[in-house]
Amino acid sequence: MKYIDKLRNSGLRPTKQRLLICEVLFNNEKTFHFTVNELERKIKDKINNKISLATIYNTVHAFEKKGYLKQIPVNSNQTYFDTNITDHHHFYNLKDGKLIDLENSDVGPINIKRKIDGKKIKSIEVLVKLED
């Protein structure tokens, strides 16, 4: 399996639940955005025996901590995750709550002129809200 080493090297035991979730998340042509509920549906579509919702949450958070997933800051009652972990930005379609990647090259370089004492910049994220 192609994800066993990835997990072991991260100090995560390659359980069959995690391997299945890796398949769903990372074995795709394109990266994508998802909520935990959407991920649960994708997992159910893939297999017959289900994975507990608690495990899905555990795994998503474990992967996020290891840097294999990112959370996207949007106003929603659900948390949005991204399998695209490169530096990039987002369109947010207010109509249907869907996100669209906005590559760094599609946004001019962002230069934050102000500094905050004793703090380092961890990330700079642009959210472009779309309406009709």
Partner DNA sequence: ACAGCTATTTAGAACCATTATAAACTACAA
Partner DNA sequence: TTGTAGTTTATAATGGTTCTAAATAGCTGT
Query: In angstroms, what is the C-alpha Rg of the chain?
Result: 17
With CB under 7 A as the contact rule, the residue among 16, 44, 46, 65 that binds DNA is 16
Question: Residue 94, SS3?
Answer: coil
Residues 67-126 contacting Zn ion, CB under 5 A: 82, 84, 101
With CB under 7 A as the contact rule, the residue among 12, 74, 99, 127 that binds DNA is 12
Q: Count interface residues toward DNA (CB under 7 A).
A: 25
CA angle, 120 then 122 then 124, to 5°:
115
Cβ at position 113, least distance to DNA in Å: 31
Query: Which residue, 13 or 115, is less far from a copy of itself as judged by CB?
Result: 115
Burial of 27 (0-12, 13-18, 19+ CB in 10 A): exposed
With CB under 7 A as the contact rule, the residue among 2, 8, 46, 65 that binds DNA is 8
Cβ at position 83, least distance to DNA in Å: 16
Nearest partner of 102 among 113, 92, 114, 115, judged by Cα = 92
DSSP structure class, residue 101: E
Query: Which residue, 31 or 79, is less far from DNA as judged by CB?
Result: 79
By CB under 5 A, name the binding residues for Zn ion: 82, 84, 101
